Chain A
Amino acid sequence: MAGLVSTNTFWSLWLFVHLILAVGLLGALTHQAMAVALPVRQPAGGIVTRFRAVPAAGYATAVCVLWVLTFLVGSYIYTKYRIYIRIPLEQGGYYKTGGFFDFKEHVASIGLTLLPAYWYFWKNAKNPEYDNARKGVTLVLAVMCWFLFIVGHVLNNTRGFAS
């Protein structure tokens, strides 16, 4: 990419890709979580009801792919975070902010390991044997995703785009 864009723009673009993937993942997982936590008995209704009335099983593969892609892009830009973001954060005394990033990386890895069972449970959505496990793992992943997204957002506000 040398000569096309500046180094700052290059990494900001990757951060933006990470954000876009994360938004897609967050939307898909939130739809699914709402569908399993508050299932709809009559599909018609207001916006909240329609939000819950999605064909949730169709999201499973997309969620897995998006989680892995977001994870990989996040892993790629993490090298720059470690040098150009974390060190200034520590120098500025923002230890809790840095701590939350480490918390985020651990949650992202733990979430990654849940994907095979999550995918299996959703691909067997006809089997009532998996209903409780599917609901539990979907809700856990949705909460993790919201946590990852909010921490990433706050960190970006602290020292992110164009810094």
Chain B
Amino acid sequence: MSTATATNSRAAPSSLAASRKFKTFATTFSIAGPVVYCGTQYFNWPLFTYHPATGRLVWGSEAARPGEGPNMLWYGWTVTTILIAAGLGIVAMMLPERISRKIPLALVWIFPILTIPYVIYSLMPWWTHP
């Protein structure tokens, strides 16, 4: 970013953006997020299940019931992921700075790329359906 555009675009950080604690929280959240999401989906840990045909919301995972239409787990997986990633971010904030400073920032973009093959694999029933 050693360019005219980059130089012009470099604004002074706000108070939140200047916080080292927030940096640790944000990077830990974003590094953990894709991995936690895949784990949540693999182990099927939705915080809740939504049944759109009846509007019923239940804690945890619940299979579709006969005559009540499909179930939706994705909302629950996403909320579980946000809660776990936020928890990990808060724990990381409590670490001494000499440790939290060593978190590799490149993992923020490497992990989401690495999760894509798993996501494609997890959808195999769709791809191989006769």
Interface of A: prevailing SS: helix
Name B1's contact: one of A55, A107, A111, A128 (CB within 8 Å): A128
Q: Is the CB of B5 within 8 A of A109?
A: no
Name A114's contact: one of B108, B122, B126 (CB within 8 Å): B108
Nearest-CB residue, chain B, relative to A132? B106
Instruction: Tell me how far the C-beta of A136 lies from the nearest C-beta in chain B, rounded to whole angstroms.
Output: 3
| In the complex, chain A residues 95-136 whose Cβ is within 8 Å of any chain B Cβ | 95-96, 98-99, 102-103, 105-107, 109-121, 123-126, 128-136
Interface of B: prevailing SS: helix
Cβ of A5 < 8 Å from any Cβ of B? no
Q: Is the CB of A130 within 8 A of B37?
A: no
A-side contacts of B105, CB under 8 Å: 117, 121, 129-130, 132-133
Residue count of chain A within 8 Å CB distance of chain B: 61
Instruction: Tell me how far the C-beta of B120 lies from the nearest C-beta in chain A, rounded to whole angstroms.
Output: 7
| A133 and B127 contact, Cβ closer than 8 Å, known pairs A55-B9, A126-B12 | no
In whole angstroms, how far apart are the Cα atoms of A128 and B105 in the complex? 12
In whole angstroms, how far apart are the Cα atoms of A80 and B70 in the complex? 11
- Looking at A43, A82, A112, A113, which has the most chain B CB atoms within 10 Å of its CB? A113
| A58 and B11 contact, Cβ closer than 8 Å, known pairs A118-B30, A120-B22, A136-B109 | yes
Cβ of A155 < 8 Å from any Cβ of B? no
Stretch binding the partner chain, chosen from A13-21, A22-30, A32-40: A32-40
Residue count of chain B within 8 Å CB distance of chain A: 59
Q: Is the CB of B106 within 8 A of A82?
A: no
Nearest-CB residue, chain A, relative to B22? A120
Name A133's contact: one of B25, B50, B109 (CB within 8 Å): B109
| A117 and B1 contact, Cβ closer than 8 Å, known pairs A96-B126, A106-B119, A109-B81 | no
Which A residues have a C-beta under 8 Å from some C-beta of B?
35-36, 39-43, 52-58, 75, 78-80, 82-83, 86-87, 95-96, 98-99, 102-103, 105-107, 109-121, 123-126, 128-137, 139-140, 144
27 contacts between A and B (CB under 8 A): A35-B9, A39-B6, A41-B3, A52-B5, A79-B72, A87-B70, A95-B129, A96-B126, A103-B119, A107-B119, A113-B32, A113-B82, A113-B85, A114-B33, A115-B30, A123-B14, A123-B16, A124-B23, A125-B6, A126-B11, A126-B12, A129-B105, A130-B105, A132-B105, A136-B108, A140-B109, A140-B113
